[in-house]
Chains A and B, each alone.
Chain A
Amino acid sequence: MLIQNAVADTLNNTEWAFPLAECIHIGGFAVGVGSIALVDLRLLNLGLRQETAARILRYTEPWTVIAMIFVAFSGFMLFLSQVGIYAINPIFPWKMYVLAAALIYNFTVHRRVATMKDAPPVLSKFVAAISLLLWVSVVFGGIFTGFLE
């Protein structure tokens, strides 16, 4: 079954493998979410005001995508190491729903508005606030998953 797999064997039987995967997960989302937040802070008119949001998006998007690949890969490893525990965790499915929403939102609505010329400020701010809210919720979901074993 899925509960017993090669990844689980390695992560559960090597002392440093699980913490290493966790550190990659945390470092990765710091970069991934942080680079998205730079665009959001611009949309909210709070930071990097001398650049346009579209430009910041263009500069940071490769880093966002690379970081997300690391986060997703390390996260999947962590999941595989304890499938049984995640399967019965009350918070984990919600984290995945919000994550799916955040990802879809990021590459559709968020990107569309950030690259829009002359987007109305109200729209920009609203879209940025929702983006930050979604990503912060994913982080909360991750921590609460760990606390509600």
Chain B
Amino acid sequence: MSLLTFAQWVQSTPLFTAIRESWYVYPAIMSSHLAGISLFGGMVFIVDLRLLGLAMRKRPIADVVNQLRRLKWVGFAIVATCGILMLGSKAEEYYYNAFFRAKMAVLALILVHALLFRRSVYAKAAEFDRSGTVPGLAKLAASLSLVLWTCMVICGRGIGYIEPPLDKLHARVIEHLHQRAQSADRIVYLDTRTN
């Protein structure tokens, strides 16, 4: 099974079909995705700025980092769930979308960032407080995090700017045939009535 046929199968499942066919569910999920970004993005921003010494300077780094850790995961879970629902409902369109692919690449980099710096930076916040200095590595991690999340927003917005290749879309073809069949039925029905 190729990735494309997998995408077609995913979006044809009842849940994702229902999301796609409702006029308000998709925008509602997208709104939740963005509302989640605003909750979660603010936390990432504050933690990174604290490491860079630009915000909440009088508070211990460990306090800021540790107290927001769980909330950041909750926020990420909300954003990711909404993202998966949007992806699943239009999987075939996303398959052709270059910005979506770029966004997934950035997401992969964010995971690498988390794996790389979790132990060396985020787990050592209390040490930075004791020594009174933030090492260059921690500032690098914070700066990279800000850059990566900004790229996520840019790629996310970019997705909406790429028109799906309508001639290639499987779902559209089926929809079109369905509509044609329906209008053909109506004509037959009208004919029998007039007779």
Which chain A residues have a beta carbon within 8 Å of chain B's beta carbons? 19, 22-23, 26-27, 29-38, 41, 46-51, 55, 59-60, 63, 135-136, 139-140, 142-144, 146-147
Q: Which residues 69-123 of B have a CB within 8 angstroms of A? A: 71
B45 and A50: CB pair below 8 A?
no
Of all A-B residue pairs in the complex, the 3 with the closest CB atoms, nearest first, are: A34-B42, A30-B41, A33-B38
**Given A23-B157, A41-B71, A48-B67, A30 and B27 contact (CB-CB distance below 8 Å):** no
Q: Which residues 1-44 of B have a CB within 8 angstroms of A? A: 23-24, 26-28, 30-31, 34-35, 37-43
Total residue contacts A-B, CB cutoff 8 A: 99
Measured CA separation A54–B151 after assembly (Å) = 33
A37 and B28: CB pair below 8 A?
no
A23 and B67: CB pair below 8 A?
no
Q: A27-B150, A49-B67, A135-B35 are in contact. List 15 more A-B contacts (CB 8 A).
A: A19-B157, A23-B154, A27-B153, A30-B153, A34-B40, A34-B43, A37-B39, A41-B71, A63-B45, A136-B31, A136-B35, A140-B28, A143-B27, A144-B24, A144-B27
Contact residue among B43, B153, B157, B158 (Cβ-Cβ distance under 8 Å from A38): B43
B-side interface size class: 20 to 34
Contacts of B40 in A (CB 8 A): 34
Smallest CB gap from B60: residue in A: A50
Determine how close the nearest CB of chain A comes to the CB of B31; give it in whole angstroms.
Answer: 4
A26 and B157: CB pair below 8 A?
yes
Contact residue among A48, A60, A147 (Cβ-Cβ distance under 8 Å from B68): A48
Determine how close the nearest CB of chain A comes to the CB of B160; give it in whole angstroms.
Answer: 8
Contact residue among B31, B45, B157 (Cβ-Cβ distance under 8 Å from A139): B31
Smallest CB gap from A60: residue in B: B46
Determine how close the nearest CB of chain B comes to the CB of A28; give it in whole angstroms.
Answer: 10
Contact residue among B63, B154, B158, B161 (Cβ-Cβ distance under 8 Å from A50): B63
A135 and B38: CB pair below 8 A?
yes
Determine how close the nearest CB of chain A comes to the CB of B48; give it in whole angstroms.
Answer: 11
Contacts of B46 in A (CB 8 A): 34-35, 38, 60, 63
